[in-house]
Amino acid sequence: MSQHVADSSEVYEMETSAGWIPDGRGLSVWGVSIAVHAVILGLLGFFHFEVGKMVTTVIDSAFDSDTADENFKFDATATDQVGSGGDLSGGPSSLAVSQDAVASSMKSTAEKADKSIGESMQINAPVGTETVTGQPAKNELLTPVQTTGGTVQAGGVEGAIDRIAYELVNQLRDKKTLVVWLFDVSPSLTKRRAQIADRVENIYKQLNQLNVTSDKALKTGIAVFGERTTIVTPDPVDEIEDVVKAVRGIKSEESGKENVFTAVQTVANKWLNYRTKQQRAMTIIVVTDEAGSDAEAQLEATIQLTKRYGMKCFVIGEGAPLGRKQVESMFTLDNGETVIGVMDRGPESYFQERLRMAYWGVGGGDLDSIPSGFGPYALTRLCAETNGLYLVSDVDNKFPIDPIVMRSYPPDYRPIPFLQKDIESNLAKRAVFEVCKKYQVDNIPIPTDRFPSENDTVLRQNIGEAQKPLAELDYNLDGILKMLESGEKDRAKIQEPRWRAIYDLAMGRVLAMRVRSYGYNMMLAEMKAAPKRFEKKESNLWMLKPSKDITSGPATKKMANKAQEYLKRVIDEHSGTPWAVLAEREYSTQLGWEWKEGTYNPQPQNMGNGKDKKAPKFVEEIDPKTGKKTKRQLPDNPVRREI
């Protein structure tokens, strides 16, 4: 088989016929083409293109809440369990949080936003060290959040520090970094600051061993806050010894205020030039055990500032109690004084979503501060919006709350106008919101179930006293129930598991409390009219105990069945959540009442002053030196103090 090899003349003819090389006949075509391109180049020469100095740019996408995607959500519940002994050169597979769903939702939202505003705008962050404070514009408040941040159950202080170290390792591989440690000076943080100093020293040494801090790639600034913010290191430091010395030198203060958001703004502005001029990544790490005293006034401005300059915010803090703002616990100050420490640690959501109602007929005091599974709303939202993390450092194993399950029950961290519109769109949600805002039933004493009965006169007097708070309780329960029932028809429209659990628990508990109230009132009325006789000689006390028998009529029995239906649904559908724990406690107690006789010994009186003599109270503590348990006597009337 022969192969024809084209000579140079043939190749020339092929190329000219194809138009690749102009021959004489094509010169006019080439001339026109060259002329056109010359004109285009000449026009482009009149335009001036400027390359900005900033590498980081911020894209603000604003849209009106009426046209925005109402169903836009993001996952702020990355609840990876991180231990304290891992290799810092890499992270566990659980750290790779999937963002496919978020990306898809963001794409859909962005497309709708583009249609509503017609164009997008790119704004280069300004260069300089000017202070940026004040309230953000409305369009910035309406910008939804795409984030990999949220709440992480870190497994103690050590686990929290290790997780931050993992984040820093990855960040330092990309660019030089400034880390700002911002410590709460509350007395309750003394022990934690010491733990962090120990752990930070070890972590920084490991970072050096990994050679990620070479060429002074990692700089550290330290500041403290209470009512005011104080800069501990006027200039960021490079040496481990300087970092540890600064942390150990922090002194506690008892101002009772924790202006954490003002403090974040202060350090962000203080070291802004490290972000803008030096092009360093900037990470702010807040160490606190409270939610912040200035959240309402400064949260939005803090988010605006940190997002604008791409500053990640992390918090090492306590978990928020479910639907509660404050927690109280016995606490010993540095001077040895024992007080009832009052701390703002919640709530976990923007709106009040937990009905404030004590338990009756069953112990429920331990449930007042049941953990929500999330950090306090404002600090967690700051972390989420800046792609940081809220690291829950306290470990609470008293309640069967599953952090993996809780991923499906996050609070809503969208901008406030979205939350308000969402509540207004559903009668059941609105009913819960209005009930929680109007009624504070836990301020009403739960009627007693013990009635001293040395004789009929004493018994009737005690019954009369017990009936006084019952009238107020019954009045409030009636109002709550009517309000919740007004939204019952929209309950089936609720899509979020969190809101279904909230509504069902509220309905179940109010119905159960109503049934107990009816039965209690009837039992007291019958006993007052015709006192029972003791079967035992030594008995001098009548007690009302829960019973399966409901004797207050068929309407009350019907209400009891409905209460159990709601409570059982919470238990079955929301296992592993705090709502299921609360429902289980209510469901496990019978709704009827029965009389039981018993005895009691009146408290002896002090003849000198007429006051009851109280037995001393003790608290168990662990000696930090020996590791052994010790008992310490508490004062009779400890002072309540914000710490």
DSSP string, 462-530: HHHHHHHHHHHHHHHHHHHHHHHHTTGGGGGG---HHHHHHHHHHHHHHHHHHHHHHHHHHHHHHHHHS
The more confident residue out of 471 and 617 is 471
Distance CA 54, CA 216 (A): 21
Write out pLDDT tens, residues 294-307. 999 999 999 999 99
- Is residue 521's pLDDT more than 50? yes
CA 196/CA 287 separation, integer angstroms: 9
Q: Which of 325, 347, 354, 351 is nearest to 510 (CA)?
A: 354
pLDDT at 304: 96
**419 phi, psi to nearest 5 deg:** -65, -45
C-alpha distances (whole Å) from 214 to each of 124, 210, 273, 342, 397 are 30, 9, 21, 45, 41
What is the predicted pLDDT for the residue at 227? 94
The whole-number pLDDT of residue 602 equals: 73
Determine the pLDDT at residue 213: 64
Least Cα distance to 563 among 524, 529, 514 occurs for 514
Q: Look at residues 189, 165, 191, 213 and name the one whose alpha carbon lies nearest to residue 314.
A: 165
- State what percent of residues in the chain have pLDDT above 70: 69
pLDDT winner (highest mean) among 34-38, 302-306, 447-451, 628-632: 302-306
Instruction: Decide the pairing of beta strands 229-231 and 218-225.
Output: antiparallel
DSSP string, 143-179: -----S-SEEE-SSHHHHHHHHHHHHHHHHHHS-EEE
Nearest to 567 by CA among 497, 514, 505: 505
Predicted confidence at residue 411, as pLDDT, reads 95
Q: Write the CA distances from 377 to 185, 221, 373, integer angstroms.
A: 21, 26, 12
Residue 331 is inside which H or E element, if any?
strand 326-332
For residue 156, what pLDDT is reported? 85
Given a contact cutoff of 8 angstroms between Cβ atoms, the answer to whether 55 and 279 are in contact is yes
Lowest mean pLDDT among 27-36, 161-170, 184-193, 476-485: 27-36
Determine the residue type at 381.
R
Name the range with the highest mean pLDDT among 4-18, 91-105, 353-367, 502-516: 502-516
Query: Could you identify the residue written with the tokens 């015709």?
Result: 530
Is residue 446 predicted with pLDDT exceeding 90? no
| pLDDT for res 157 | 86
Confidence of residue 541 (pLDDT cuts 50, 70, 90): very high
Closest CA to 502 of 456, 435, 555, 441: 435
Q: State yes or no: pLDDT of 467 exceeds 60.
A: yes
Lowest mean pLDDT among 81-95, 206-220, 277-291: 81-95
Residue 564, classed as helix, strand or coil, is helix
Between 365 and 190, name the one with better pLDDT.
190
Mean pLDDT of all residues in 309-335: 87
Judge residue 186's burial from the number of C-beta atoms within 10 Å of its C-beta, 0-12 exposed, 13-18 middle, 19 or more buried.
buried
Residue 403 carries which DSSP code? T
Model pLDDT for residues 85-122, shown as the tens digit of each residue: 333 333 333 333 333 433 343 344 334 433 433 333 33
Q: What is the pLDDT of residue 142?
A: 41
Spatial contact of 513 and 360, defined as CB atoms under 8 Å apart: yes
Between residues 570 and 624, which one has the greater pLDDT?
Answer: 570
Question: When comparing pLDDT for 619 and 405, which is higher?
Answer: 405
Per DSSP, 237 falls in state B
pLDDT score of 134? 44
As given in the structure block, the two tokens for residue 220 are 């550290």
Phi, psi of 384 (to 5 degrees): -65, -45
Q: How many CB atoms are closer than 10 A to CB 408? A: 14
pTM, 2 dp: 0.73
Q: Would you say 328 and 627 are in contact if contact means Cβ atoms under 8 Å apart?
A: no
Please tell me the distance from the alpha carbon of residue 420 to that of residue 162, in angstroms, as a whole number: 38
- CB-based contact 91:166 (threshold 8 Å): yes
31 exposure class (CB count in 10 Å sphere: 0-12, 13-18, 19+): exposed
pLDDT, greater one: 194 or 136: 194
Which pLDDT does position 41 carry in this prediction? 55
Q: Is 202 exposed, middle or buried (0-12, 13-18, 19+ CB in 10 A)?
A: middle
Cα angle: 189, vertex 343, 641; to 5 degrees:
95
Quick check: 274 pLDDT over 90? yes
Q: Is the pLDDT of residue 198 over 90?
A: no
pLDDT at 221: 96
Does 602 or 533 have the greater pLDDT score? 533
Residue 628 has pLDDT above 60, yes or no: no
Residue 171 has pLDDT above 80, yes or no: yes
Residue of 296, 234, 294 lying closest to 264 (CA atoms): 294
Tokens of residue 184, six digits? 């709460």
336: left (phi over 0), alpha (psi -120 to 50) or beta: left
Q: Please, what are the domains in the chain? A: 76-95+119-320+372-409 (3.40.50.410), 321-370+425-643 (no CATH)
Q: Which two tokens stand for residue 181?
A: 């440690």
DSSP character at residue 45: T
Lowest mean pLDDT among 113-127, 219-233, 429-443, 534-548: 113-127
Q: DSSP state, 385?
A: H
User: What would the mean pLDDT of 116-144 be, rounded to a whole number?
Assistant: 38
Residue 333 to residue 336: CA distance in whole angstroms = 5
> Tell me: the pLDDT tens digits for 554-565?
999 999 999 999
Of the given ranges (40-49, 78-87, 482-491), which has the lowest mean pLDDT? Answer: 78-87
With 90 as the cut, is the pLDDT of residue 620 above it? no
